[in-house]
Structure 1
């Protein structure tokens, strides 16, 4: 029996494992194994809601072991250390659930087909001090850490009397904009529950620093302007055309246009200015893009190893017509659907070619608003959406992810439970 190993349980990896488990694992056609260093899955596009205290990840996470038992694949809680492509084996370091005793020795796992769904990590672009002095949102642990620091900063500033909380977000893409919007609501919610005595509008200052000429450059200019106007109306400062030259523990050094370097105070700095492939990609001996992503062919196979595939943010897929596929959850979803079907019917047949279809993009602006654009069937046809309608559509993206993993009935039950929870629980995490 052939063994399909998927490393990484993000949006693409977990959906691929689920689909292959249902189509091949249950029927004994292949052994499907998912490897991840975390025991649970959380949908990465919602990490900003964890970082703002709006969402408890323990409530919304998916246990890999439970998903594996229900869908015919095997889960291994381990970290990838190396790949022997000649021998088609992986070296894995099993992860312990506690710190008692010594860690088990590294063990080997053979594969017939290897799918790398490793995700991406923050790209600091060599800015001095950034790696040591900023927060990032690469995973749940980092998102929880950011909220604890934000919560503590508000409490300490409140106890200090005249102190201010200065939150600086580097990067005006979707992550930076969504977090800024949610933090504005979080500051008001914490004041409502008497966690701090600050005036959220005056004492909690949130600033987005964007090197480009506008926020959300992947959206049409009018939608970017709409998002910027909404954020400004919520008291968030936008500084476009601003580059970061250095980050210290309590300030950020910036340049605006051709002006001199200045500093901006920062109680907390969050870096959301770009991503690249994880460091493990550099050890595999596979061709990489300049952003450290694994270069793949139209079949999603590595350009020089037919037994290794890559999907999601760690893969560099360039369509000759549409260009490079962006690092978005919808790309990982489409690649998972494609590869699940392709591997199911591989059996010596030539693999089909993946074609990414862009359905548009939506960006949350807090609990009640969003902005974005939907792409229709006609080439170049765009439908701008904003406000409450866009917010509803934004919520449907997560519901679609749940249905891909659980099916309609269970996904509907999760959605109803979430609706009830919001009506009986505080609107924000209070500790």
Structure 2
């Protein structure tokens, strides 16, 4: 890898002549790909593998709602990029991609500034022979007023942890005050009833009750704590089959979660949500979980084709339409669903996992001068967790040869297995087994909800 900056460190350069693979983004697909390429090519000196990522640690995004609710400890489940790169034969370089020079085959990375405002690394340039962009997605607020100032999105572990701190503080504040609760106090409005919003609503029902049981006895969770789920479509989980939506709706009603469908948000206020019809829903905490888009800087970056939500348009081979040296995977890629005319592959963790496995083989073919083959998405269905209460979902296609509807304990086990597959891809059998055992042991000696 050729790396240049205002202060060039020649010790970071690999031996000349090695094929330079640069992966931008350390999410589910990007880190799996970097790990497996490092194991098979990097360690053997067959290629230089570099992962560029602006965060220091990796966390599986489908679990962010558990960090927000306080049912999962971030420190226990995150993966340190620097340690992972050391163990698996690739280079980790901290920073955020800000530009691309396709003619020179270079990725431009912004200076990294730490929490104290100090510059850790300068602006840098990384050369590549094969580039994989896997930077995920952001929530799409559709320009709704007040979202940036008055709502929290669950895009990163930092945001999820911030929401949880505010939730704990809200409960402590309500317990300590002598005045009656204000209309918005201890009310949480979740805007967007996709998988994230639905899972967060169910998880919050459980964890808020655990939280107040630790001595906050002036709060009656059944009367004082209210969770409102707001969705613009006519049903929750609108991207999934209606049967899943009906099952999840019934479970949420049983948890006393208020579900408002066909409700378009006009503005997020400091103390609530204004609907398009003029109704105000009081809420002390507002989570925006509606819509997705790729980061803004990708839009038409150095002439690459993008769509209206900034995703890079790719061919079935996962190569971008205007540059065969650049691939895109995960939520930032608009990938055609082969066999489903006119459809794009949905932004799911299972898609990113499959794409990473496919690219592992195809990048090796590319280095060997062989043809890069098309990728076909295999839809194994959808699973939505409602915490300890239930999991609903369906298994489809290649897995069962049809459509099998699931709920209850078995569906919960299938949901947990998705994360175990991700862990196995990163760490292997023995480390995952030991870590799982350690978590089960320590779980018995700790509070069942994070209290800070």
TM-score range, shorter chain: over 0.9
Match of 1:345 in 2: 365
Q: Give structure 2 stretches of 5+ with no counterpart.
A: 1-17
**1:196-225 CA distances to partner (integer Å, 9 max, x unpaired)?**
631111111100001111111233323211
1:28 to 1:169, Cα distance in 2 relative to 1, 3 A? same
The reply to whether residue 300 of structure 1 matches residue 337 of structure 2 is no
The reply to whether residue 268 of structure 1 matches residue 285 of structure 2 is yes
Match of 2:4 in 1: none
Q: Secondary structure at the match of 1:345?
A: helix
The reply to whether residue 330 of structure 1 matches residue 347 of structure 2 is no
Match of 1:74 in 2: 91
Out of 67, 82, 87, the position equivalent to 1:65 is 82
Q: Secondary structure at the match of 2:152?
A: coil
1:284 to 1:169, Cα distance in 2 relative to 1, 3 A? farther
Match of 1:361 in 2: 382
Match of 2:143 in 1: 126
Match of 1:312 in 2: 330
- Tell me, in whole angstroms, the C-alpha distance in 1 between the residues paired with 2:217 and 2:270: 23
Match of 1:418 in 2: 439
The answer to whether the 8 Å contact 1:372/1:384 transfers is yes
Query: How far did 1:371 drift?
Result: 0.8
1:389 to 1:338, Cα distance in 2 relative to 1, 3 A? same
**1:222-266 CA distances to partner (integer Å, 9 max, x unpaired)?**
3211211111111110011111111111121114xxxx3211111
Moved more, 246-255 or 28-37: 246-255
Q: Secondary structure at the match of 1:124?
A: coil
Where in structure 2 are the equivalents of 1:123-202 lying within 5 Å?
123-160=140-177, 161-163=179-181, 164-195=185-216, 197-202=218-223
1:101 to 1:288, Cα distance in 2 relative to 1, 3 A? closer
Moved more, 73-82 or 116-125: 73-82
1:254 to 1:388, Cα distance in 2 relative to 1, 3 A? same
Match of 2:6 in 1: none
Match of 2:267 in 1: 246
Where in structure 2 are the equivalents of 1:205-284 lying within 5 Å?
205-255=226-276, 260-282=277-299, 283-284=301-302
- Tell me, in whole angstroms, the C-alpha distance in 2 between the residues paired with 1:218 and 1:91: 36
The answer to whether the 8 Å contact 1:376/1:383 transfers is no
The reply to whether residue 6 of structure 1 matches residue 23 of structure 2 is yes
1:113 to 1:216, Cα distance in 2 relative to 1, 3 A? same
RMSD: 1.6
Q: Secondary structure at the match of 2:205?
A: helix
The answer to whether the 8 Å contact 1:155/1:196 transfers is no
**1:303-342 CA distances to partner (integer Å, 9 max, x unpaired)?**
0011111000000001252221111100100000000110
Match of 2:424 in 1: 403
The answer to whether the 8 Å contact 1:120/1:276 transfers is yes
- Tell me, in whole angstroms, the C-alpha distance in 2 between the residues paired with 1:108 and 1:77: 12
- Tell me, in whole angstroms, the C-alpha distance in 1 between the residues paired with 2:265 and 2:32: 37
- Tell me, in whole angstroms, the C-alpha distance in 2 between the residues paired with 1:252 and 1:97: 34
The answer to whether the 8 Å contact 2:396/2:404 transfers is yes
Out of 398, 402, 406, the position equivalent to 1:377 is 398
Following TM superposition, where does structure 1 have runs of at least 4 consecutive aligned residues deviating by more than 6 angstroms? Answer: none
1:81 to 1:378, Cα distance in 2 relative to 1, 3 A? closer
- Tell me, in whole angstroms, the C-alpha distance in 1 between the residues paired with 2:119 and 2:237: 47
1:378 to 1:13, Cα distance in 2 relative to 1, 3 A? closer
Q: Secondary structure at the match of 1:142?
A: helix
Q: Secondary structure at the match of 1:227?
A: helix
**1:382-426 CA distances to partner (integer Å, 9 max, x unpaired)?**
111111221111111111111111111111111111211221111
Moved more, 149-158 or 107-116: 149-158
The answer to whether the 8 Å contact 1:368/1:388 transfers is no
TM score, norm. by length of structure 1: 0.95
Match of 1:88 in 2: 105
- Tell me, in whole angstroms, the C-alpha distance in 1 between the residues paired with 2:94 and 2:27: 14
Q: Report the count of equivalent residues.
A: 427
The answer to whether the 8 Å contact 2:114/2:120 transfers is no
